[in-house]
Every structure is written in structure tokens, then in C-alpha cells.
A and B are shown apart, each in its own frame.
Chain A
Amino acid sequence: MFKNITEWTLVLGVFGIVATLGNWIGYEVLPWEAIPGIIILIVVSVIGLILEKIVPGNLPAVGYIGLIGIIISLPWVPGSEFVVEWTSKVSILALATPILAYAGISIGSNWADFRKLGIRSVIVALMVFFGTFVGSALIAEIILRWQGII
């Protein structure tokens, strides 16, 4: 377990360094301003990964991580103003860019499988957006009418 924790932290550390520099180049936040926020995010992630292993049940790590993130940034939780202030220096897009760079490299080795998705996946994606949109609009219509807003 301890070995896991060190390794997660180190890998997230490498990732954090790349993201911090991307954050600097793309969003003009100096690295030392972003580092406290990155560290908070890494700690939250590692705690979530630990909880996934030790807590019985099927909640995936991302569930714990989202929950911890929400809790430590709630206005009435002591210290949340620092969490919010520091993490606000880390752009969500700066985190996404290295993920997608690694993803591109990784998908390269599965290119045959990925290419098979092809134009059919575009059709499905359009239907995903259409379905979500129409489904949400219908529910919204029912509720807004029921509330007498429209």
C-alpha cells in the first residue's frame, strides 16, 4: 500500500510538473503561483485512490475524488478559501492538454481499433448530443410548467 501511495504521488508529480509548465505558457500563470494548487489536487487524487482500495463497495476513485474536492472547497469548511484561491490558478485546460498528449501516444498503438470507430462514431456522437439535449429539454419543460414559470 505504501509503495502504491509513493508511486501514485510520484507519477502525479511528473504529470503536475508538465501541467504547471503548460499552465504557464498557455494561461500565463507563473509556476510558483500554480504549485500550491497542483499540490492540493494531487493530494486529493491520492486520497481518492487510497479510499478506492480500502473502502468496501464499488465506488470508483473518481467518485471519492470529486466528493473530496467538493467538500474541501465548500464555503463553510475552514481553509476552503485557500483551496479555492490556489486551485483557481490551475486551468482545467492546462490539465487536459497533457492527458490528451499521453492519450494520443497511447491510442497510436491501438490505432487499428480506434480507426474502426470511424464515421460511425461521429453518427453516434451526434445522437448522444441530440438525445441528451432533447431529453433534458423535455424534463425542463415539464418542471418549468409545473412550477408555473412558463
Chain B
Amino acid sequence: MMGKADLRGILKDWRLHAVVFIIVCVTEAIGQFSFKVGPGVILLLPMVYAFIIGLALFFTPLVNEKMAKNAEPLIVLGVTLLIAKIGVTIGPQIEALIAAGPALVLQEIGNLGTIFFALPLAVLLGFKRESIGMTHSIGREPNVGLIVNKFGFDSPEARGVMAVYIFGTVFGAVFLGLIAGFLATTSPIHPLSFAMASGVGSGSMMVAAFPELEDQIVAFAGASNLLSLGTGLFFSIFVGLPLTEKLYTLMSNRKNRKSVTHKGGNPNV
């Protein structure tokens, strides 16, 4: 994937690195903000400002088309550092993960829910290969890494996963908090099941709704979040992504056939 890019030229694009360096300094200096909204928080992180500022700068003379092209391999390589960091975070927790047992491992299967709920919707809304990036997983760092690694950054799949990633970073906790609170009180499913499903973010909300289960909820949510980072990557590689691609091909074939017969209006069919 990196074969055609001239990395040496990119390395010498000092203007690009200087612009990014300034963006990073400014956004990290601003720091993070969070607003409490209902049961959750809206999270504004330096990376979100960095994305917006980078995007805005493209439309100024400071950044040109060549720099934008040169930025792509840096994203692909930069994400590998993120994955390495996630790896070394999981290693020390291995015993906790093993102790968490089969419940948490099998729970990963539940994450396939996104494919069955969201992929048909994405195809219905007219998305093409973007829908693969959007719906193969919940779109966190390991999944961004996988998609960018496999398809490159300048691809519809990467645009899809980036959209979900950025939206999820800012609004994910609030949304999960809202639906967790709503479903936990209105559905017959046990609050501990929701705690396991929610990982970080809505754990606090679950505690608010069921204070007598606090310790258990925090433990379940924490273990679940760790696991979804650790197993999420490998589950996406071997199950989530191939399955999404298969289903996508199936669905888009069907859709195409339908629209063809529709337009063709063949009375003999």
C-alpha cells in the first residue's frame, strides 16, 4: 500500500510537518472540554480541534494540494503507533482479561449487531463502499487502523470509518448513555448486561440508575471496554470486516438487480 508513495519526498515536506506541529501545539494547549448532557458527556478532545483546523487550513494558501497528498502516508504510519500503544496497554491486563472469562469473549459476537443493524441502513441510504468502513465495527482506533492499513487513507472505506470515528469520539458517550438509560429502564434486559455492553462512557449512567449494583457495573463495564480494544482488532480482521464485505457485495448486487429490472420494465419477468 505504501509502495508508490515517495516517502523520502514526504519526509522533506517540512512545511507540512511544521503546519501539523503548530496545530498540535495549539490544540494540546487548549486541552479537552466536556459538557454534561443528560446522562452522558459531550467530549471535545484536542484531536477533534486538530482535525477541524487541519481541514480549514486546506482552504487557505498555507496548505496546498501536494501537502494534502503527502499527509496520507503519515496517517497510515501514524495509526500503526496507535495500535502499538493499544497493544502494550493490553499486555499487562492479560490476567484480568482471562479472568473475565467466556462471557466477555462471546460478547464480541454481539458487536456484530452493528453489521446487521447499520449496514442495510447505510446501503439503503445510498452509500457505496463507505458503508463497509462505517459499519464493520463500532469504529474505534483499532478499526480505523485496520481500514486505513487495508484500503489506504484516500479510499471510500477510510472516509466511512473516519466519519463514524470522529462522530463517535464527540457524541458516542452521550448517545450510548441515552440509549443505555432508556433501554435499561424500559426493556426486560438486566442492567448488568447493559453494563457489559456499554464499556466506558455509559458505566456512570448505569450506576446512577442502579446504585445498588455499582461495583459490579463498574467492573463489568471496565473489563468489557478493555476487551473490545484488545479483541476488537482481531475480531474485525478475521470476522467483522470479511463478513461486512460479503454482505455488502450481496446487498449491492441485489439492489442493482432490482433497479435494473425496474428501469428495464421487462414485462416477461
Q: Are B68 and A109 in contact (CB under 8 A)?
A: yes
Q: Are A104 and B54 in contact (CB under 8 A)?
A: yes
Chain B residue numbers with a CB within 8 Å of A107 are 51, 54-55, 58, 159, 162
Supposing A60-B149, A105-B71, A127-B121 touch, asked if A140 and B197 sit within 8 A by C-beta, the answer is: yes
What's the minimum C-beta distance from A42 to chain B, rounded to whole angstroms? 7
Please give me the residue from chain B that is nearest to A67 by CB atom.
B87
Chain B residue numbers with a CB within 8 Å of A70 are 87-88, 90-91, 94, 230
Q: Are A71 and B111 in contact (CB under 8 A)?
A: no
Chain A interface residue count: which class?
Answer: 35 or more
Chain B residue numbers with a CB within 8 Å of A98 are 20, 24, 50, 78
Q: How far is the CA of A80 from the CA of B43 in the complex (A)?
A: 33
Q: How far is the CA of A44 from the CA of B90 in the complex (A)?
A: 15
Q: Tell me if A93 counts as interface (CB < 8 A to partner B).
A: yes
The one of B8, B73, B89, B164 that contacts A125, using a Cβ cutoff of 8 Å = B164
> Scoring A residues 81 to 108 as 1 if CB is less than 8 Å from chain B, else 0, what string do you get?
0011001001011111111111111111
Residues of B within 8 A of A (CB): 2, 7-8, 10-11, 16-17, 19-21, 23-25, 27-29, 31-32, 45-48, 50-59, 63, 65, 67-69, 71-75, 77-92, 94-95, 102-103, 106-107, 109-118, 121-122, 125-127, 130-131, 134-135, 137-139, 141-142, 145-146, 149-150, 153-154, 156, 159-160, 162-164, 166-168, 172, 175-176, 179-180, 183, 189-190, 192-194, 196-198, 224, 230, 233-234, 237
Residues of A within 8 A of B (CB): 4, 7-8, 10-12, 14-16, 18-19, 21-22, 25-27, 38, 40-42, 44-45, 48-49, 59-63, 65-75, 77, 80, 83-84, 87, 90, 92-111, 113-114, 117, 120-141, 143-144, 147, 149-150
14 contacts between A and B (CB under 8 A): A26-B28, A62-B149, A62-B233, A66-B87, A69-B91, A87-B88, A100-B54, A105-B16, A109-B69, A120-B127, A128-B114, A128-B139, A129-B172, A140-B110
